[in-house]
Amino acid sequence: MMIKHHETGKSYDDWNSDENLRISNKPAGTALMQCVKRVGQLAATGWASTAITIAQSAHPVANIFQPQATPAESVYHLSLLVLSVCATIFTIVAGLLVFTIVRFRCKKNDEHEPPQVYGSNRIEVAWTVIPILIVFVLTMATARVVIATQDQRAPKDALHVTVVGHQWWWEIRYPDLGVVTANELHVPLSTPRKPAFTYLTLQSADVAHSFWVPQLAGKTDLIPNRTNTMWIDPRETGTFLGNCAEYCGMQHANMLLRVVVEQPAEFQLWAAGQKAAAVGGSFMEDRAVFLSLSCVSCHTVSGTPAKGTFGPDLSHLMSRSNLASGMIPNTAENLRAWIRDPQAIKPGNLMPNMQLNTLELDAVMNYLSSLK
């Protein structure tokens, strides 16, 4: 079966072409070229898919200049200050440079050396003190934003969410609601009349990652053996795109994140749906097939013996819009292709090709498709 990437139109089978797989059997030079080519391909797909996903989303640009929450807004104001200071310095320096080049250029028949200026205290003090003052002002302005953002205490009614970075997906837990999901963070809308704060506890299961949704807040790293925190109070409903912003390995570029901001009532409805035990399994045989496979050692389906935590929770898989951390839309065709060979879609990701036969694949598809 020939399956095309939904955005690039490129066949997934290309990833597995013999050329790409047999890098190590080739002479060093060829292997290097193959490697360069492959990295190029990966980078190109990553960029293309990010660019196109961004273009298609409800909020077309993941743009720091369109903040939709308080932390992002303070970063935005700070960046305006920094940019205007830098623009002023640039204009002055470039202006003086152009002026000097024009005014003091070598003229015909003028063979004099220009006057040489040494040890002018006044000039030296000026070019030492002014930059120090500028850096001081920028440091103070930055410290103000950092402190105002980090010292904000969580109000009593804040929503607490724990986000755990994994290579290459996001685990999302709502301890107070008893909800576990992945890659799509749902949060309530904040309005001036009814402010709603979401407090995030950020951790990592493996390497360093970074949580960045440009329209909602600045970046915060997820570091192994350390807990970081951040908060958001989104002011507009819709889906906001983010990305892992700290290089974390092969599929770093495909570690996308979606924040879905909903009216409080809608959010409650979503949470109730997620909290309910997984319903699936209209056909008990399908469920039995799934439970008999080693999927269960990596995935959880609530209310079943499947209790693995290495991969994303699948209890309400059908409620997510995308698979594999935003890489492919959650359609039947893509889901099937993923289960058949996840490595063809996201090379290097940590779910192995499970080598299912067609009967098993059909059964698993039926079962997973019923997990609403």
Composition of the chain by helix, strand, coil, percent to 5: 45, 15, 40
The residues, ordered by sequence, that sit 6+ positions from 65 with a Cβ below 8 Å of its Cβ are 76
Q: Is the dihedral of CA 72, 75, 80, 81 positive or negative?
A: positive
Restricting to residues 233-252, name those near ligand HEC by CB under 6 A. Answer: 251
Query: Which residue lies nearer to ligand HEC by CB, 251 or 302?
Result: 251
209 makes contact, choosing from ligand HEC, Cu ion, none, with CB < 5 to 8 Å by partner type, with Cu ion
282 makes contact, choosing from Cu ion, ligand HEC, none, with CB < 5 to 8 Å by partner type, with none
295 makes contact, choosing from ligand HEC, Cu ion, none, with CB < 5 to 8 Å by partner type, with ligand HEC
136 makes contact, choosing from Cu ion, ligand HEC, none, with CB < 5 to 8 Å by partner type, with none
Position 67 contacts ligand HEC (CB under 6 A): no
Q: What region, left, alpha or beta, does residue 327 occupy, with left being phi > 0 and alpha being psi -120 to 50 degrees? A: alpha
Least distance (Å) from Cu ion to the CB of residue 165?
Answer: 5
Q: Using DSSP, state whether 279 is helix, strand or coil.
A: coil
Query: Which residue lies nearer to Cu ion by CB, 244 or 261?
Result: 244
Q: Which of 172, 295, 301, 337 binds ligand HEC (CB under 6 A)?
A: 295
Least distance (Å) from ligand HEC to the CB of residue 320?
Answer: 5
Least distance (Å) from ligand HEC to the CB of residue 290?
Answer: 7
Query: Which residue has tokens 């000026």?
Result: 126
Element (H, E) at 361: helix 358-369
Looking at the DSSP assignment, which residues form a beta bridge with residue 184?
258
Position 163 contacts ligand HEC (CB under 6 A): no
Position 258 contacts ligand HEC (CB under 6 A): no
> Exposure pattern of 343-365 as b/e (b: 16+ CB <10 Å)?
ebbbbebbbeeeebeeebeebbb
Query: Which residue lies nearer to ligand HEC by CB, 189 or 317?
Result: 317
282-288 long-range CB contacts below 8 Å, 24 or more apart? 282/370, 283/363, 283/366, 283/367, 285/363, 286/363, 286/364, 286/366, 286/367, 286/370, 287/367
Restricting to residues 305-324, name those near ligand HEC by CB under 6 A. Answer: 310-312, 314, 317, 320, 323-324
Query: Which residue lies nearer to Cu ion by CB, 3 or 230?
Result: 230
Query: Which residue lies nearer to ligand HEC by CB, 128 or 297?
Result: 297
Neighbours of 274 (CB within 10 A): 20
Least distance (Å) from ligand HEC to the CB of residue 134?
Answer: 44
Q: Using DSSP, state whether 212 is helix, strand or coil.
A: strand
Residue-by-residue DSSP string for 132-161: HHHHHHHHHHHHHHHHHHHTPPPPTT-EEE
Cis peptide before 127 (omega within 30 of 0): no
Least distance (Å) from ligand HEC to the CB of residue 145?
Answer: 33
Q: Which of 12, 15, 76, 168 binds ligand HEC (CB under 6 A)?
A: 168
Binding region for Cu ion (CB under 5 A)? 209, 244, 248, 255
Q: Which of 350, 362, 369, 370 binds ligand HEC (CB under 6 A)?
A: 350
Which positions lie near ligand HEC, rule CB under 6 A? Answer: 168-169, 182-183, 251, 293-295, 297-299, 310-312, 314, 317, 320, 323-325, 338-339, 346, 349-352, 354, 356, 364, 368
